[in-house]
Amino acid sequence: MGKRKNPTEDEHLLSVGEIEEKVEKEHSKENKNLGAEEGERKEAERELKENVSALEKRFSTKIEFI
């Protein structure tokens, strides 16, 4: 049987403050991603409205999707 490794010897244990900082960072990254996705979705909705309305005007018809 080999010598059992003591995790505190070669692994850096994070302090509570460091863990909180990491969690905070991850949350802010996620929030940023969600914000970007929301922005893209709104932009796509605006584009859809504009383009559909232009097509409806051009062909004097109501456009609906399946």
> 5 or 58, CB closer to another protein?
58
Residues 38-57 contacting another protein, CB under 8 A = 44, 47-48, 51-52, 55
CB of 43 to another protein, least distance (A): 8
What is the distance between the alpha carbons of residues 53 and 51, in angstroms, rounded to a whole number?
Answer: 5
Binding site for another protein (CB under 8 A): 44, 47-48, 51-52, 55, 58-59, 61, 63-66
